[in-house]
């Protein structure tokens, strides 16, 4: 019965909104609220699952107009906290010990509460101040029920209103469902925090409060408490330029060096500590970029600065944003118009994120398909640009990003070169180790089977001679190559004696290899052909 009443409530809310929207579109109704704010209010009234759905929809700038995006971004999931004693029971059940054994002090009154969890102050027995994040009881079952009912309601609506299918409603709901399942698993968030702690270990500009080992489960997470002033606090304005540069550098490292980034850098998750470092909070939303996406994003940045529409389109295609048949000329015209608009602005007002959105909307939903990881990137990029301009309105975000991105690329190239050298040494060493065995097997096969080729045909003597010479040259080339590789590996060793700083065995190997090379070149030059 509870399922039925909840399904009726969800379906009724959706139908009422669509009916109301139809009246507004026909100008039969003049509402006080805009359709966007009405829609956001409808989602907020349906509770946690739908608030999260709205927050997920706020990423879909490729599908929704700006007023809907703005209204959905304003959705807050702060709700009244649940009872502190219930939180204590959840903690004890999850961590397997009484609260007084786990903490020297524990405040039953919640510090903050949201739809998924709430946070309590505590102190460990070693004196460290911590926060304890506790998931709401039964929230997983509630979300699972709402998602099943929502999918059913949307299928019925899509059957009755086919136009709704173009908005990929079910795919968006599935995406939101997956995101919620991840957000409700605090073990995953704890792993994310640990990776970010390692990422910024020793940093003089960024701090990530670490997780307390052995004090986290899927429902409870204990983290070192830290704080400071929000980045929109007027008291931090004096350090705004330095903090803006630190934030840009931090996100460049996340995007291009690690391929993993904090997906929600709004002012409530960014604090300026007393020592001047930026403190990052809340790693429930984390984005990932594979190597190919990172290269394509770097290319898109450079193409945007150079105002090269063809290069920019190629970069967007590499990102997988454009699917199906492409009218390249149409896209390039649209990109050129966008780039000309930016050319008329001061460079400090340029925005990679807004250019990204403009490109997404060029295809009008026909060719553009935005993967989830790029939606999270776009959200993080927009919020980062906004945060940077909050800290320093005159900061040139584009210049800061492109200059820093080049340094990051140089670092990556250096690391890649070292990695290739390491692999080359490994593969060469493996080849040298396997060479005696391969030769032994070849000799054994020859002894057992003998030379089976017998040619008795007049006129083939020249062919036999050519084959003989070719096989000799091939063998000589292989021996020379083996000597070059072996000598190069010996160069890395500490063997003695040394001649002019080169280990004697390596020098002998190089001399022999060079002699064989000369013989091979002379033989080829005498024959007049390769």
How does pLDDT run across 49-63, given as a tens digit for each residue? 888 888 777 777 767
**Alpha carbons 327 and 323: distance in angstroms, whole number:** 11
- 340-357 confidence digits (pLDDT tens): 888 777 767 778 888 887
Whether the per-residue pLDDT at 1 is higher than 70: the answer is: no
Going by C-alpha positions, the residue among 92, 88, 288 that lies closest to residue 188 is 288
Neighbours of 49 (CB within 10 A): 24
Place of tokens 């073990």: 187
- 7-45 confidence digits (pLDDT tens): 888 888 888 888 888 888 888 888 888 888 898 888 888
- 300-345 confidence digits (pLDDT tens): 888 888 888 888 888 888 887 776 666 778 788 888 888 888 877 7
Q: What are the φ/ψ torsions at residue 405 (nearest 5 degrees)?
A: -65, -35
Contact criterion met (CB below 8 Å) for 73 and 51: no
CA atoms within 13 A on the CB side of 461: 2
Contact criterion met (CB below 8 Å) for 285 and 263: yes
Place of tokens 């957000």: 183
**Alpha carbons 40 and 349: distance in angstroms, whole number:** 30
Going by C-alpha positions, the residue among 126, 125, 171 that lies closest to residue 151 is 171
- 432-473 confidence digits (pLDDT tens): 677 677 777 777 777 676 655 554 555 555 555 666 666 666
Three-class DSSP category at 80: coil
> How do beta strands 278-280 and 206-207 pair?
parallel
Cross-strand partners of 133:
119, 221
- Which of the residue ranges 276-285, 324-333, 342-351, 414-423 would you say has the lowest mean pLDDT? 414-423
Task: Give mean pLDDT, residues 274-288.
Answer: 89
Task: Give mean pLDDT, residues 376-389.
Answer: 87
**Residues ≥6 apart with Cβ < 8 Å to 138:** none
CA atoms within 13 A on the CB side of 53: 24
Going by C-alpha positions, the residue among 99, 98, 46 that lies closest to residue 75 is 46
Three-class DSSP category at 64: coil
Q: Across 75-84, 109-118, 327-336, which has the greatest mean pLDDT?
A: 109-118
Neighbours of 389 (CB within 10 A): 17
Three-class DSSP category at 502: strand
- Residue 454's pLDDT is 52
Three-state SS string across 160-190, please? HCHHHHHHCHHHHHHHHHHHHHHHCCHHHHH
- 204-223 confidence digits (pLDDT tens): 999 999 999 889 999 999 99
Three-state SS string across 129-145, please? EEEEEEECCCHHHHHHH
Q: Is the peptide bond before 497 cis (omega within 30 degrees of 0)?
A: yes
Return the domain boundaries, the chain.
1-77, 78-226, 230-421, 461-530
**Alpha carbons 326 and 320: distance in angstroms, whole number:** 13
Going by C-alpha positions, the residue among 61, 152, 81 that lies closest to residue 354 is 61
Contact criterion met (CB below 8 Å) for 180 and 49: yes
**Alpha carbons 459 and 457: distance in angstroms, whole number:** 6
- Residue 194's pLDDT is 94
Q: Among residues of the chain, what percentage have pLDDT more than 70?
A: 78
**Alpha carbons 413 and 131: distance in angstroms, whole number:** 40
Q: What are the φ/ψ torsions at residue 292 (nearest 5 degrees)?
A: -65, -45
Whether the per-residue pLDDT at 411 is higher than 60: the answer is: no
- Residue 365's pLDDT is 53
Question: Which token pair is 320?
Answer: 């997988």
Question: What DSSP assignment string belongs to 253-316?
Answer: IIIIIISEEES---GGGEEE-TTS-EEE---SSEEE--HHHHHHHHHHHHHHHHT-HHHHHHHH
The DSSP 8-state label assigned to residue 321 in this structure reads: -
- 238-267 confidence digits (pLDDT tens): 888 899 989 988 998 898 888 899 988 888
**Alpha carbons 466 and 253: distance in angstroms, whole number:** 59
> How do beta strands 220-224 and 229-230 pair?
unpaired
Whether the per-residue pLDDT at 277 is higher than 90: the answer is: yes
Three-class DSSP category at 322: strand
- 134-185 confidence digits (pLDDT tens): 999 988 888 888 888 888 888 887 777 776 666 667 777 887 788 788 888 9
Neighbours of 522 (CB within 10 A): 10
Helix or strand (DSSP H, E) at 112:
strand 112-113
Question: Which token pair is 296?
Answer: 């394509």
Mean pLDDT of the chain: 80
**Alpha carbons 164 and 154: distance in angstroms, whole number:** 9
- Residue 455's pLDDT is 47
Task: Region of 70 please: left (phi>0), alpha (psi -120 to 50) or beta.
Answer: alpha
**Residues ≥6 apart with Cβ < 8 Å to 134:** 87, 90, 91, 117, 118, 119, 120, 219, 220
**Residues ≥6 apart with Cβ < 8 Å to 336:** 309
Q: Among residues of the chain, what percentage have pLDDT more than 90?
A: 18
Greatest Cα pair distance in the chain: 103
**Alpha carbons 79 and 100: distance in angstroms, whole number:** 28
> How do beta strands 229-230 and 270-272 pair?
antiparallel
Whether the per-residue pLDDT at 66 is higher than 70: the answer is: yes
């Amino acid at each position: 019965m509870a399922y039925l009443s909840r399904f009726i409530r969800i379906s009724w809310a959706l139908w009422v909104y669509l009916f109301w929207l139809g009246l507004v579109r026909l100008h039969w109704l003049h509402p006080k609220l805009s359709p966007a704010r009405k829609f956001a209010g409808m989602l907020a009234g349906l509770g946690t699952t739908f608030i999260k759905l709205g927050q997920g929809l706020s990423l879909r700038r490729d599908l929704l107009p700006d007023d809907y995006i703005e209204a959905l971004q304003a959705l807050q999931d702060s709700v009244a906290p649940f009872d502190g004693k219930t939180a204590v029971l959840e903690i004890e059940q999850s961590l397997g010990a009484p609260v007084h054994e786990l903490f020297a002090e524990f405040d039953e009154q919640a510090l903050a509460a949201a739809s998924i969890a709430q946070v309590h102050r505590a102190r460990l027995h070693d004196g460290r101040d911590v926060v304890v994040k506790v998931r709401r009881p039964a929230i997983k079952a509630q979300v699972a029920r709402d998602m099943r009912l929502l999918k059913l309601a949307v299928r019925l609506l899509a059957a009755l209103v086919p136009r709704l299918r173009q908005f990929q409603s079910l795919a968006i709901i599935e995406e939101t469902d997956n995101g919620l399942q991840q957000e409700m698993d605090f073990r995953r968030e704890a792993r994310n925090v640990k990776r970010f702690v390692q990422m910024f270990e020793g940093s003089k500009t960024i701090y990530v409060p670490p997780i307390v080992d052995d004090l986290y489960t899927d429902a409870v997470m204990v983290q070192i408490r830290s704080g400071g002033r929000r980045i929109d606090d007027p008291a931090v304005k004096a350090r705004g330029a330095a903090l803006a540069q630190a934030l840009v550098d931090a996100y460049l490292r996340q995007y291009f060096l690690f391929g993993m980034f904090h997906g929600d850098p709004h002012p409530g998750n960014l604090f300026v500590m007393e020592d001047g470092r930026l403190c990052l909070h809340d790693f429930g939303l984390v984005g990932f970029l594979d190597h190919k996406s990172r290269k394509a994003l770097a290319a898109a940045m450079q193409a945007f600065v150079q105002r090269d529409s063809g290069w920019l389109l190629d970069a967007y295609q590499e990102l997988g944003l454009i699917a199906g048949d492409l009218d390249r000329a149409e896209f390039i015209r649209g990109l050129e118009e966008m780039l000309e608009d930016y050319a008329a602005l001061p460079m400090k007002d340029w925005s990679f994120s807004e250019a990204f959105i403009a490109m997404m909307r060029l295809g009008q939903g026909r060719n553009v398909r935005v993967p989830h990881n790029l939606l999270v990137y776009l959200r993080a990029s927009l919020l980062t640009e906004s945060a940077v301009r909050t800290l320093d309105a005159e900061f040139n975000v584009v210049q800061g990003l492109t200059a820093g991105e080049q340094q990051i690329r140089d670092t990556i190239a250096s690391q890649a070169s070292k990695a290739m050298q390491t692999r080359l040494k490994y593969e060469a060493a493996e080849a040298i180790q396997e060479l005696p065995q391969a030769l032994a097997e070849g000799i054994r096969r020859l002894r057992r089977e003998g030379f089976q080729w017998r040619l008795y045909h007049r006129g083939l003597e020249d062919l036999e001679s050519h084959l003989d010479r070719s096989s000799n040259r091939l063998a000589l080339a292989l021996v020379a190559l083996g000597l070059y590789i072996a000598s190069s590996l010996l160069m890395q060793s500490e063997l003695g004696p040394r001649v002019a700083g080169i280990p004697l065995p390596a020098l002998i190997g190089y001399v022999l290899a060079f002699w064989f090379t000369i013989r091979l070149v002379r033989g080829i030059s005498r024959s007049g052909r390769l």
